[in-house]
Structure 1
Amino acid sequence: MTSPYHRGEREAQERAGLRRKAEISGRAIRGTVPPVAAAFLTEQRLLVAGAADDSGDLWATVLTGPAGFLRAPDERSLFIAAGPAPADPLSAVLERPARLGMLAIDTATRRRMRMNGTAHPRDGGFLVHLDQVVANCPKYIQRRTPPEPGCGPPPRPSRARRSDRLDDAQRRLLAAADTFFIATADEHGRADASHRGGDPGFLQVLSPTRLRWPDYTGNAMFLTLGNLLVNPRAGLVVPDYATGATVHLTGTARTVWDAGRAGGPGDAETGRAVEFTVTGVAELPGTLPAGWSPPEMSRFNPPVQRAGAPRDGTPEAGAPRAA
């Protein structure tokens, strides 16, 4: 049987000692959308998307719409009846064919579905020819309910605030976050989008240009860490569910495989952590509808490990609270 994984994913699985488990998990990787997944997609109001810009920098963003804005015309394609705001880092990218990683996520039911393919502009939205469809488990998703359609203020289109580093307010938002999304790509540019969740403080802000988070136990596929082994560029998007704003970051990431040794900052079970260097920041107001319900934290979230002082001596922004 041909493995569904590229060389970076296989190397990550070997390093973690989970190659056999990965092959079992790999049976969930498809090239088509099954009927139950197609029905799930039509109910969703939020899609995370990741792609590279003209310079090769990866960005992640969030697309929203009423139920039905996502639909699978057939088992090998997805139509998205929405697009990013003009100020979004991926706005220009999606005006032409682009490799796109996607994650449809329903936080109210803790369900998610991962899809990768090539997007083509079509009828005011995008038609994505799918290469990979993956069902993911509900681990580390915080349950929260979006506001009812029409409730609350409408999204406010605006220019993005751009920088090459995080400001104080952005650092506070990230240090308190329980959820973010990450875009990566393999050495051939095939993009992927994934979810990361944990108790507030799991995303550690080490300086205006350095982040770190523990890599928790997952399904052993290592789609994200495998991509980082062959292509270190990555993009994050951190939602502010209270205001509807999003903070988008691009930069490079690396996995620290033995970070948890001797009480280090890695996950206590896996010993792994990911360190991210920020090279670009874009903050957009009104990307999401504002006023989501308070989160019900996932019972799978490990206790937050308080990190020591960064190696460069820069103070951390925001003290993580214990879970």
Structure 2
Amino acid sequence: MGKLFEAIDDGLRRWIDAQPMWFTATAPLAAEGRVNVSPRGGDSFSVLGPRRVGWVDFTGSGVETIAHLRENGRICVMFTSFDRRPRIVRLHGQGRVHLPGTAVFEEVVALHPPNPSTRAVITVDVERVSDSCGWGVPVLEVVTGERDLIRASAEKKGPEGMNAYRAQKNTSSIDGLLGL
């Protein structure tokens, strides 16, 4: 077993900030429900305190993370190093969804570049912070560039088009749970 941390300290915060990609894992309560793992990246993640993190959630073709958090709040956020020094860090906790117009939404969005695809902010009250070796993760050349497809698609659709897209794709999860 890896190391357990009391909280996210400055060294761990710097390491998290240096990772270009991270993952979220959520699941519904129903045994037959589908586990969801989502890759994420870009300038969207913030360590908000020693036991609190958050990120800007962009519009996607699904809404599983939001739906699962609304149902039960359980989440694991995982960061992994792809450089020569192996490391995996997991943040387990209770997540919450914050929609436009709320104070938390505005607080977290202000920490990142504006993006017309922004649909929500997710925060996590971190209950467990751990790391493990990461020896099985390959060494990769990390980030040769960011994809700007989310922004370009949202700009092309415009605000009304984004609302229509969310109404079509983001109202419920693949398991029928409430999304947006």
What is the TM-score when the length of structure 1 is the normalising length? 0.40
Which residue does 1:216 correspond to in 2? 58
Q: Please show how residues 303-314 of structure 1 align to structure 2 within 5 Å.
A: none
Which residue does 2:41 correspond to in 1? 198
Which residue does 1:288 correspond to in 2? 136
Residue 77 (structure 2) pairs with residue 229 (structure 1): no
Which residue does 2:145 correspond to in 1? 297
The answer to whether the 8 A contact 2:22-2:41 is kept is no
Which residue does 2:4 correspond to in 1? 162
The answer to whether the 8 A contact 2:20-2:142 is kept is no
CA distance in 2, matches of 1:236, 1:251: 9
- Runs of 5+ in structure 1 lacking a partner? 1-86, 88-159, 304-323
CA distance in 1, matches of 2:34, 2:126: 19
Which residue does 2:165 correspond to in 1? none
Q: RMSD of the TM alignment (CA)?
A: 2.6
Aligned pairs, number: 143
Distance 1:215 1:168, change over 3 A: same
The counterpart of 1:258, out of the listed 100, 119, 130, is 100
The counterpart of 1:248, out of the listed 73, 86, 90, is 90
CA distance in 2, matches of 1:176, 1:212: 16
- 1:105-159 superposed Cα distances (whole Å, 9 cap, x missing partner): xxxxxxxxxxxxxxxxxxxxxxxxxxxxxxxxxxxxxxxxxxxxxxxxxxxxxxx
Which residue does 1:272 correspond to in 2? 120
Q: Deviation at 1:192?
A: 1.5
Q: Which amino acid aligns with 1:241?
A: F
Distance 1:301 1:254, change over 3 A: farther
Q: Which has the higher helix share?
A: 2
Distance 1:244 1:209, change over 3 A: same
CA distance in 1, matches of 2:124, 2:101: 14
Larger RCO of the pair (alpha carbons < 8 Å, separation 6+): 2
- 1:228-275 superposed Cα distances (whole Å, 9 cap, x missing partner): 111101111100111221001110101101168896433642341100
Q: Deviation at 1:290?
A: 5.1
Q: Deviation at 1:297?
A: 2.8
Which residue does 1:309 correspond to in 2? none
Which residue does 2:24 correspond to in 1? 182
The answer to whether the 8 A contact 2:25-2:38 is kept is no
Q: Deviation at 1:170?
A: 1.5
Q: Which amino acid aligns with 1:281?
A: V
Residue 52 (structure 2) pairs with residue 207 (structure 1): no
CA distance in 2, matches of 1:247, 1:191: 23
Secondary structure at the residue paired with 2:11? helix
